[in-house]
């Protein structure tokens, strides 16, 4: 019994699949467990067995659910099979059956007597069998629809096509394992009326089924035993729908097509098994002609497996979700139909004339009529041929319009067959390397791209078309010109939109096995460099190219992502080139570009790529397939990359990681909505909020990071001004600026001078070249700080934006801001005594009243700072809810946490500093009351400190603050997060300022924010990140004014009165001065993990931060941390500020 228990425990704990056999040898039953289908590359574990001797053990029952063994002495063992499958008789024991009787050393006696053997599973499941990728599927083909005639085909309306969309509400049932009942659900007499409804396309976790969504970045969330998948932990979603087709589908080949099913599935039609397929994001197509009944109800049953052996190759950084998540169609292909076709646009070496080559594969010989129409429907060329099963059209086209992301001109190819027609939009373009430079149509191209996962906050990877379209339109609005389909081929409709709108596509195969890298051995040995997996890798490359080969927008193929590098990548490359030699092949894991046609890097710093680009001896270009990680508040330091891209021809540009946060909408127990991340659904293991790393929030609305990126990659850059001539540069790759208009105005401190005036843009400015704009009527002798502001906008409507949409802007300084000395000079009034009245209200409090009596301040001698501020108009009302405090800390951003800086700040307890006063002295001078405070600011536990010498000068209605600091001591932080004052202010409703705005800005994230006169509410200033962190800062601010209405003695506010100034802060001409105003403390932001937690802590007063200097953001969450030039290095400082 002891040995039996050991064996049973081993069975439960081990991730490997085991064969359970019970057979009779002579009079003694034997229960044995042995490894089943162990890969050749993995050592096989020894089997164990138990055999009865004395007293004799007999087998009392064998059923579908249990193996029951009992003895004469009441020994009883019940091995529960969890309804994992049916048993079958094999006739005789397996040759590698039991060889010992456990620890007793007793040997089993064998005879020639045949005994019944019962085995689970009956056979290796397709979904855990590396040798089965597909059963019953048709060869992959291009994405196209057939129509009855040319007229219908030209509408491109799929509802008019020879197909039936089967998406909609299906019946659904979920079990924990594919072996759980009801396994006969596909039978035509099976009653599904008691099942739930589920939406197809859809992910069942997003519709409330199963264990819920799970997020990991790279770890496999199950015991790794590739290629095997656990039998008892593999959710199985059974889907059933009913459909009818009419007589127009009779005498056709009927093709059942699934555009995407995660992760694998088996299909039945009217009780007949049609086949099996895997490759979650690849299409699968089955010939169901023999099974579909015309004019009658047809039952389609689909069994979807959460995991399969292919899931080891689908370890992308995203949610683990399951289901039929793309559309399902039944296509009707008549006799004499195209099986597939391949469009080639072959430009000559002058990139002028072209040959249109169309390779067509037919189901049988037939005539084919071909037409080429321009964008207006005008006939450009036509031909007709009698085809064998394979043939081609070759047509010369004189100087066609060239397709680029900037000029997405599409022709329409019409193919008419005997009983059907199809259309394919065609863009003429050519991709190649020219002297090591990536070029399209002979011109160098820069990718200003993004990585895009398929995501919707409500439906996961089942993305509605309008949501998808909105994504691409938003990209165009923010100057994005490229998409890397990370890390799988996307919804086929995306490529149609990219052709139409003009977006370059780096098309990536559905491949990532990053999780093999944490198993303690060479990650590539598991699959990438393992011959057993060759067919699986090749299949994913083949599926990608065959489906997307006819899209002009697809300019690069990619062999996948983060899958190490091995022989199977070379096999993928060979498969791709056997189909399509016209495009280059990318793969970042091939660091030396041994297989790939280009170099690729992730998260290299700007300095690194400049060093690489400066080397002379390299023949391939370099792309950053992932860079400027956009997690949380950031990214910082974008412009350094963009400048490098344009300076060095062999730098191709890059793709930001990533487009959008992957939050999934969920609710608290109280019913409050929020966007969930890893761990919010009880998922373990998880990678927490690393799924929030996009340029868009989870609703796919812009973050401040997208605004900044859109500015950095703008197609027109304003460089400088000399006299009245402005220098600009055209950053387009193919077009001039003739499609744009330019207007200018002057924005100055406190005013806008004149309205928008148009300025002529010189005609025909070539790409990547400079030009000059002549500004007429520039004002002279400006006394306030002022900037020339120029906007560049679309002159005409496009298919992605209306005329007037701004694509770029620039600002150039015309005059300087006033110095602090000038501000101080302005405080003096010849008829007003600047010296206030002072009394010592208590041993620890100075009460200071301005000479006019309009303002009263309290200075706490123990704290060494201002703790009270009252106005004569409301003497009962205290403006300050928190005293002025010198502060060096900010709530951590994701980039702070991910990089070394945040850890250093917390290790050095920068967030726990305390103030202790050394000495306070005060005296009256002719220009006001002067209070000098010597303090020490230091954290607990440690011995480092900042000695400060603060001078408060009370002059009229103003306070001039000058502070000097000297950090010292062991374990001093390397950097500070900020240097500034924090205070609490009551009654703030709006904030006005002169400086950069209107949005958030930081030291290394400010190019998108223009100098201007801005005003916002406190709530509008705050950026409510989906994972709470510091935000809402405004930098390069000269002054900021906090406005509100003062209540009367009863606390009543007169809403009809205009807002009045509560407090104003002036920084003079200091560069980099910042402010923020919000209803939360840094502690609130650091401690709360979701917005709903933060909102419960919202204060009525306003936490104001006035900063002289701020540490940059960087991209340390996954990539380079804050660049040295943007660090706030610890050192002595000397700053000043005027408050009134």
Query: 35: which residues sit within 8 A by CB, 6+ positions away?
Result: 16, 17, 18, 19, 44, 45, 47
Of 772, 769, 775, the residue nearest 789 (C-alpha): 775
Residue 676, domain member (yes or no): no
| Catalytic residue (choose from 508, 562, 588, 708) | 562
Q: Is the pLDDT of residue 102 over 90?
A: no
Q: How far is the C-alpha of 1060 from the C-alpha of 95, rounded, in Å? A: 93
pLDDT of res. 122: 86
pLDDT of res. 116: 80
Helices marked H in 527-605: 534-548, 567-579
Q: Is the pLDDT of residue 750 over 80?
A: yes
Residue 951 DSSP one-character state = E
pLDDT of res. 852: 87
Q: 566 and 443, same structural domain?
A: yes
Q: How confident is the model at residue 1054 (pLDDT cuts 50, 70, 90)?
A: low
Instruction: Based on the residue annotation, tell me whether 626 is a catalytic residue of this protein.
Output: yes
Residue 675, domain member (yes or no): no
| Contact by Cβ (8 Å): 747, 994 | no
Q: 282 and 151, same structural domain?
A: yes
| The two structure tokens encoding residue 384 | 């007709």
Q: Is the pLDDT of residue 30 over 90?
A: no
Degrees, nearest 5: CA angle 662-664-665 = 140
Q: How many CB atoms lie within 10 A of CB 635?
A: 30
Q: Stretch 613-639: mean pLDDT, rounded?
A: 95
pLDDT of res. 96: 38
Q: 347 and 286, same structural domain?
A: no
Q: How far is the C-alpha of 1107 from the C-alpha of 1075, rounded, in Å? A: 6
Residue 47 or residue 265, greater confidence: 265
Lowest mean pLDDT among 36-50, 776-790, 814-828, 1013-1027: 36-50
Instruction: Answer with the one of 333, 361, 385 that is the final residue of a domain.
Output: 333
Residue 661: how many CA atoms within 13 Å on its side-chain side?
30
**DSSP sequence for 132-184:** -SEESBPPP------BSSHHHHHHT-GGGSSEEE--EEEEEEEESSTTSSPTT
Q: How confident is the model at residue 156 (pLDDT cuts 50, 70, 90)?
A: very high
**DSSP sequence for 840-884:** EEETTEEEEE-TTSSEEEEEETTTTEEEEEEETTEEEEE-EEEEE
| Contact by Cβ (8 Å): 301, 238 | yes
Structural domains of the chain, count: 6
Q: 285 and 166, same structural domain?
A: yes
Q: Is the pLDDT of residue 1027 over 70?
A: yes
Q: How far is the C-alpha of 327 from the C-alpha of 165, rounded, in Å? A: 7
Q: Stretch 1066-1086: mean pLDDT, rounded?
A: 98
Q: 548 and 453, same structural domain?
A: yes
Return the axis-axis angle of helices 638-647 and 606-614, rounded to nearest 10°.
10
Q: 530 and 440, same structural domain?
A: yes
Q: 259 and 147, same structural domain?
A: yes
pLDDT in tens, 561-597: 999 999 999 999 999 999 999 999 999 999 999 999 9
Q: 1134 and 1027, same structural domain?
A: yes
pLDDT of res. 1102: 98
Residue 38, domain member (yes or no): yes
Q: Is the peptide bond before 828 cis (omega within 30 degrees of 0)?
A: no
Helix then strand count (H, E) for the chain reads 16, 68
Residue 690, domain member (yes or no): no
Of 280, 256, 328, 201, the residue nearest 540 (C-alpha): 280
Residue 479 DSSP one-character state = T
Residue 691, domain member (yes or no): no
pLDDT of res. 38: 33
pLDDT of res. 1045: 84
Q: What integer best gives the mean pLDDT of the chain? A: 91
pLDDT in tens, 992-1023: 999 999 999 999 999 999 999 999 999 999 99
Give the CATH number, domain containing residue 734. Answer: 2.60.40.10
Residue 328, domain member (yes or no): yes
Q: 913 and 861, same structural domain?
A: yes
pLDDT of res. 1055: 64
pLDDT of res. 112: 55
| Catalytic residue (choose from 285, 626, 640, 785) | 626
Q: Stretch 118-129: mean pLDDT, rounded?
A: 92
Give the CATH number, domain containing residue 465. Answer: 3.20.20.80
Q: How far is the C-alpha of 453 from the C-alpha of 439, rounded, in Å? A: 26
Q: Is the pLDDT of residue 21 over 60?
A: no
Q: How far is the C-alpha of 1053 from the C-alpha of 458, rounded, in Å? A: 43
Q: How confident is the model at residue 493 (pLDDT cuts 50, 70, 90)?
A: very high
pLDDT in tens, 694-728: 999 999 999 999 999 999 999 999 999 999 999 99
Residue 4 or residue 756, greater confidence: 756
Lowest mean pLDDT among 247-251, 357-361, 926-930, 1050-1054: 1050-1054
Instruction: Based on the residue annotation, tell me whether 562 is a catalytic residue of this protein.
Output: yes
Q: Name the residue range of residue 354's domain.
A: 338-416
pLDDT of res. 1050: 58
Q: How far is the C-alpha of 469 from the C-alpha of 466, rounded, in Å? A: 5
| Contact by Cβ (8 Å): 436, 616 | no
| The two structure tokens encoding residue 589 | 């894991």
Q: How confident is the model at residue 828 (pLDDT cuts 50, 70, 90)?
A: confident
Q: How far is the C-alpha of 848 from the C-alpha of 832, rounded, in Å? A: 17
Residue 875 or residue 634, greater confidence: 634
Instruction: Answer with the one of 709, 727, 743 that is the final residue of a domain.
Output: 709
Q: 220 and 101, same structural domain?
A: no
Residue 116 or residue 242, greater confidence: 242
Bridge partner list, 416: 369, 421
Q: Taking the complete model, does pTM exceed 0.75, yes or no?
A: yes
Phi, psi of 1062 (to 5 degrees): -95, -55
Residue 748, domain member (yes or no): yes
pLDDT of res. 615: 84
Q: For the chain, first and last CA: distance in Å?
A: 87
pLDDT in tens, 170-196: 999 999 999 999 999 999 999 999 999
Residue 568, domain member (yes or no): yes
Q: 1128 and 1093, same structural domain?
A: yes
Q: How far is the C-alpha of 754 from the C-alpha of 535, rounded, in Å? A: 68
pLDDT of res. 86: 30
pLDDT in tens, 843-892: 999 999 998 899 999 999 999 999 999 998 888 889 999 999 999 999 99
Give the CATH number, domain containing residue 916. Answer: 2.70.98.10
Q: 1012 and 944, same structural domain?
A: yes
Instruction: Answer with the one of 100, 123, 146 that is the final residue of a domain.
Output: 123
Q: Is the pLDDT of residue 1049 over 80?
A: no
| Contact by Cβ (8 Å): 1009, 704 | no
């Amino acid at each position: 019994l002891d040995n039996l228990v050991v064996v049973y425990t081993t069975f439960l704990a081990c991730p490997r699949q085991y064969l359970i056999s019970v057979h009779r040898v002579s009079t003694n039953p034997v229960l044995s467990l042995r490894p089943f289908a162990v890969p050749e590359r993995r050592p096989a574990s020894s089997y164990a067995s138990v055999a009865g001797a004395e007293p004799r053990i007999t087998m009392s029952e064998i059923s579908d659910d249990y193996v029951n063994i009992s003895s004469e002495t009441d020994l009883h063992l019940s091995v529960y099979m969890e309804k994992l499958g049916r048993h079958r008789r094999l006739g005789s024991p397996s040759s590698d059956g039991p060889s010992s009787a456990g620890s007793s050393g007793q040997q089993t006696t064998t005879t020639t007597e045949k005994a019944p053997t019962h085995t689970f599973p009956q056979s290796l499941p397709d979904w855990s069998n590396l040798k089965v990728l597909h059963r019953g599927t048709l060869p992959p083909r291009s994405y196209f629809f057939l129509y009855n005639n040319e007229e219908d085909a030209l509408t491109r309306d799929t509802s008019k096509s020879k197909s039936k969309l089967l998406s909609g509400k299906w019946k659904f049932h979920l079990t924990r394992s594919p072996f759980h009942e009801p396994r006969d659900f596909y039978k035509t007499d099976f009653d599904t009326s008691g099942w739930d409804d589920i939406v197809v396309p859809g992910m069942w976790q997003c519709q409330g089924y199963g264990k819920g969504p799970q997020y990991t970045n790279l770890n496999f969330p199950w015991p790794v035993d590739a290629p095997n998948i656990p039998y008892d932990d593999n959710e199985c979603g059974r889907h059933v729908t009913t459909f009818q087709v009419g007589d127009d589908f009779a005498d056709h080949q009927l093709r059942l097509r699934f555009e995407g099913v995660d992760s694998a599935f088996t299909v039945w039609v009217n009780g007949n098994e049609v086949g099996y397929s895997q490759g979650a994001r690849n299409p699968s197509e089955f010939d169901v002609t023999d099974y579909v009944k015309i004019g009658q109800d047809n039952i389609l049953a689909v069994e979807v497996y959460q995991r399969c052996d292919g899931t080891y190759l689908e370890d992308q950084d995203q949610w683990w979700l399951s289901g039929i998540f793309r559309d399902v169609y039944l296509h009707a292909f008549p006799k004499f139909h195209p099986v597939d076709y391949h469009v080639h646009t072959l430009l000559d070496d002058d990139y002028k004339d072209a040959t249109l080559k169309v390779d067509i594969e037919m189901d049988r010989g037939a005539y084919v009529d071909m037409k080429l129409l321009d964008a207006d429907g005008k006939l450009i060329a036509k031909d007709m041929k009698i085809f064998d099963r394979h043939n081609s059209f070759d047509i010369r086209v004189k100087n066609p319009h060239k397709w680029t992301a900037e000029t997405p001109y599409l022709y329409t190819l019409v193919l008419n067959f005997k009983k059907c027609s199809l259309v394919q939009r065609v863009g003429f373009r050519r991709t190649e390397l020219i002297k090591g430079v990536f070029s399209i149509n002979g011109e160098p191209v820069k990718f200003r791209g993004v990585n895009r996962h398929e995501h919707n906050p409500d439906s996961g990877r089942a993305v509605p078309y309008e949501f998808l379209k909105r994504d691409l339109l938003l990209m165009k609005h923010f100057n994005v010109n490229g998409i890397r389909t990370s890390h799988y081929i996307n919804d086929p409709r995306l490529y149609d939109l990219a052709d139409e709108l003009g977006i370059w596509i780096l098309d990536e195969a559905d491949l990532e096995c990053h999780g093999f890298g944490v198993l303690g051995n060479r990650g590539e040995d598991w699959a990438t460099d393992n011959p057993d997996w060759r067919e699986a890798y090749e299949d994913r490359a083949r599926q990608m190219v065959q489906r997307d080969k006819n899209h002009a927008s697809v300019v690069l193929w990619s062999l996948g992502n983060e899958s190490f590098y091995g022989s199977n990548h070379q096999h993928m490359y060979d498969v791709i080139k056997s189909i399509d030699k016209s495009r280059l092949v990318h793969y970042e894991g091939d660091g030396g570009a041994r297989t790939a046609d280009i170099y690729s890097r992730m998260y290299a710093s700007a300095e690194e790529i400049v060093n690489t680009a400066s080397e002379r001896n390299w023949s391939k270009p370099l792309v950053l397939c992932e860079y400027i990680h956009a997690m949380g508040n950031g990214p910082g330091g974008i412009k350094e990359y963009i400048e490098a891209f344009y300076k060095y021809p062999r730098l191709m540009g890059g793709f930001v990681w990533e487009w959008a946060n992957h939050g999934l909408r969920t609710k608290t127990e109280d019913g409050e909505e929020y966007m969930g991340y890893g761990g919010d659904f009880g998922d373990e293991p998880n990678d927490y909020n690393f799924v929030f790393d996009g340029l868009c929030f989870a609703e796919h609305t812009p973050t401040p990071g997208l605004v900044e990126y859109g500015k950095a990659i703008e197609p027109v850059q304003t460089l400088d001004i000399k006299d009245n001539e402005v220098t600009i540069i055209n950053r387009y790759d193919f077009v001039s600026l003739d499609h744009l208009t330019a207007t200018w105005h002057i924005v100055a401190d406190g005013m806008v001078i004149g309205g928008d005036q148009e300025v002529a843009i010189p005609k025909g400015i070539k790409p990547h070249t400079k030009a000059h704009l002549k500004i007429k009527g520039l004002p002279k002798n400006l006394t306030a700080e002022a900037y020339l502001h120029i906007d560049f906008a679309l002159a005409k409507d496009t298919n992605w934006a209306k005329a007037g949409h701004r694509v770029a802007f620039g600002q150039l300084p015309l005059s300087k801001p006033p110095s602090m000395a000038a501000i101080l000079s302005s405080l003096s009034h010849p008829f007003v005594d600047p010296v206030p009245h002072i009394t010592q209200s208590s041993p620890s409090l100075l009460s200071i009243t301005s000479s006019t009596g309009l303002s009263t301040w309290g200075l706490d001698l123990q704290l060494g700072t201002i703790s009270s501020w009252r106005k004569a108009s409301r003497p009962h009302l205290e403006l300050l809810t928190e005293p002025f405090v010198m502060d060096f800390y900010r709530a951590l951003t994701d980039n702070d946490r991910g990089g070394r800086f945040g850890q250093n700040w917390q290790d050095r307890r920068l967030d726990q500093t305390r103030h202790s006063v050394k000495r306070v002295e005060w005296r009256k001078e002719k220009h006001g009351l002067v209070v000098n405070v010597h303090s020490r600011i230091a954290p607990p536990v440690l011995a480092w400190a900042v000695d400060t010498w603060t001078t408060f000068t009370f002059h009229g209605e103003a306070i001039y603050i000058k502070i000097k600091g000297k950090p010292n001591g062991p374990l001093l932080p390397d950097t500070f997060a900020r240097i500034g004052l924090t205070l609490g202010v009551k009654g703030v409703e709006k904030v006005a300022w002169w400086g950069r705005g209107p949005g958030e800005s930081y030291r290394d994230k400010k190019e998108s924010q223009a100098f201007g006169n801005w005003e916002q509410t406190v709530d509008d200033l705050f950026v409510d990140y989906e994972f709470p962190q510091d935000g809402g800062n405004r930098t390069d601010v000269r002054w900021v004014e906090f406005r509100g209405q003062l209540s009367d003695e009863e606390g009543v506010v007169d809403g009809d009165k205009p807002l009045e100034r509560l407090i104003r802060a002036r920084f003079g001409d200091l560069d980099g001065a910042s402010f923020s105003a919000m209803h939360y403390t840094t502690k609130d932001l650091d401690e709360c993990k979701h917005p709903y937690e933060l909102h419960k802590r919202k204060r009525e007063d306003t936490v104001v931060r006035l900063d002289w200097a701020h540490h940059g953001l960087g991209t340390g969450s996954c990539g380079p941390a804050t660049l040295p030039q943007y660090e706030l290095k610890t050192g002595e400082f000397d700053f000043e500020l005027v408050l009134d």
